[in-house]
Chain A
């Protein structure tokens, strides 16, 4: 008998680990973004998406709220907000 043993590429996408997030999440302000892509590059979860200016977003299904994206943003266009606060849910 075999249990879960072998993992095919990309199937961990089904494992939505966003529930582990700390008490804050990144809120993309979409005001001064220059599309430098730094937030996307440094994200340890690889859950930041976007190409155009002011169109980047973090997938909260996987985001752990580490804040690395907000820290590196040269335009301070990402704010860490508490989980309770309302914000953009994309």
Chain B
């Protein structure tokens, strides 16, 4: 049923449909409304679930790790510093192959402290062993949570999934959202039956010491599973379309006017809405421009990206995060996708914009196209204010 909802509320409502047995989270802007609403839903008796109040994100992640290990479906959500505080447990969840689903309401990282949106938090945890999918709008954010549970709990996958949605832009944005019906959710997402669980009647341990004789195989298995997940994502996306009638293609990338384009922007998340507007405007004027939206960042769909962009002349990668001292997080993957290949763009330039919530406007996107020339650039910041870079300290 179509409803006009705030992004956070829509997420809380879809999590209610997913019926997790245990929810644990610590409030942090801009994730707060999601877990506030869920706490209310549980308190109202609309969802039979144990909502565990904790004193920190480290504990929230530990609670869902422990609960998931006992074989129950779990949910948590966080942002920014909260995600970083969880980091140790985040890696453990993946290493123990627990199908935890988390919402990351993307927000900038301290210092300086900043509560607004960019994607530095989740991108910094790209090596954690979590599958990461990025929503463009609230409808996707809602649907991706269903896909995330289905994927995480797939017997071939058994890896945690992080659904990333831009803080404020999506979490606090109002949008008409087609909310999934309970019976359809139940059809798509059957009751979770764990492959292994902590059970006093059949004791076992998870995540114990693996010395040099055992450790590498545990890591290799995740790497292989990540690779295999690319195909499973696509398979699950098709099943989702059959039940809910919303088509996310292969769930890896979205090609928007890429065919026949000679300049393409690569980006991820809500900024793609703004970029599509510029593409439409430019296409109407006969300019051959397009957008390749990355939906799944981990595992990274290298082959899919190669196929999409192998005949494009110039590519601008727009990151809302930086890898200080190196290429930005999406840009480095784009470079890798074409390294040593016969075909591919002559120029792959890397741009950084929208850090700490600085608005990415239509003009920002025009500027990206203007700076996309034959001269390749690395982590070129857009919309910088030079007057703020004149501070001097000391003698």
Pick the contact of B206: A1, A7, A12 (CB < 8 A): A7
Chain A residues with CB below 8 A from B205, complex form: 6-7, 9
Among residues of B, the one whose C-beta sits closest to the C-beta of A10 is: B203
A88 at the interface (CB under 8 A from B): no
B220 at the interface (CB under 8 A from A): yes
B214 at the interface (CB under 8 A from A): yes
Is A5 within 8 A of B211, CB to CB? Answer: no
How many CB-defined contacts (below 8 Å) exist between A and B?
45
Task: Tell me how far the C-beta of B210 lies from the nearest C-beta in chain A, rounded to whole angstroms.
Answer: 6
Pick the contact of A6: B204, B215, B217, B220 (CB < 8 A): B204
Is B217 within 8 A of A4, CB to CB? Answer: yes
A9-B204, A12-B208, A15-B211 given; A3·B220 CB < 8 A: yes
Task: Tell me how far the C-beta of A78 lies from the nearest C-beta in chain B, rounded to whole angstroms.
Answer: 28
Among residues of A, the one whose C-beta sits closest to the C-beta of B97 is: A5
Complex CA gap A1/B228 in Å reads: 9
Q: Which of B271-292 contact A (CB under 8 A)?
A: none
Task: Tell me how far the C-beta of B365 lies from the nearest C-beta in chain A, rounded to whole angstroms.
Answer: 41
The digit string for B216-232, where 1 denotes a CB below 8 A from any CB of A, is 01111110110010000
The digit string for B228-257, where 1 denotes a CB below 8 A from any CB of A, is 100000000000000000000000000000
Task: Tell me how far the C-beta of A64 lies from the nearest C-beta in chain B, rounded to whole angstroms.
Answer: 14
The digit string for A2-42, where 1 denotes a CB below 8 A from any CB of B, is 11111111001001010000000000000000000000000
B196 at the interface (CB under 8 A from A): yes
Chain B residues with CB below 8 A from A3, complex form: 214, 217-222
Complex CA gap A25/B75 in Å reads: 50
Please count how many residues in chain A sit with their CB below 8 Å of the partner chain's CB atoms.
12
B96 at the interface (CB under 8 A from A): yes
Complex CA gap A2/B95 in Å reads: 10
Is A5 within 8 A of B228, CB to CB? Answer: no
Is A2 within 8 A of B158, CB to CB? Answer: yes
Complex CA gap A1/B219 in Å reads: 10
A2-B97, A2-B158 given; A7·B208 CB < 8 A: yes
The digit string for B181-214, where 1 denotes a CB below 8 A from any CB of A, is 0000000000000001000000111101111011
Is A1 within 8 A of B221, CB to CB? Answer: yes
Complex CA gap A27/B38 in Å reads: 62
A1-B221, A1-B224 given; A7·B211 CB < 8 A: no
Task: Tell me how far the C-beta of A45 lies from the nearest C-beta in chain B, rounded to whole angstroms.
Answer: 13
Among residues of A, the one whose C-beta sits closest to the C-beta of B216 is: A3
Complex CA gap A18/B144 in Å reads: 50
A1-B224, A3-B219, A3-B220 given; A9·B214 CB < 8 A: no
Chain A residues with CB below 8 A from B208, complex form: 7, 12
Among residues of B, the one whose C-beta sits closest to the C-beta of A2 is: B221
Is B224 within 8 A of A6, CB to CB? Answer: no
CB-CB nearest 5 A-B residue pairs: A3-B221, A3-B218, A3-B217, A1-B224, A7-B205
24 A-B pairs whose Cβ atoms sit less than 8 Å apart in the complex: A1-B221, A1-B224, A2-B97, A2-B158, A2-B221, A3-B214, A3-B218, A3-B219, A3-B221, A3-B222, A4-B210, A4-B217, A5-B96, A5-B196, A5-B206, A5-B218, A6-B204, A6-B205, A7-B205, A7-B208, A8-B204, A9-B203, A9-B204, A9-B205
Q: A1-B228, A3-B217 are in contact. List 14 more A-B contacts (CB 8 A).
A: A1-B221, A1-B225, A2-B158, A4-B210, A4-B215, A5-B96, A5-B196, A5-B206, A5-B218, A6-B196, A6-B204, A6-B206, A12-B208, A15-B211
Interface residues of A (CB under 8 A from B): 1-9, 12, 15, 17
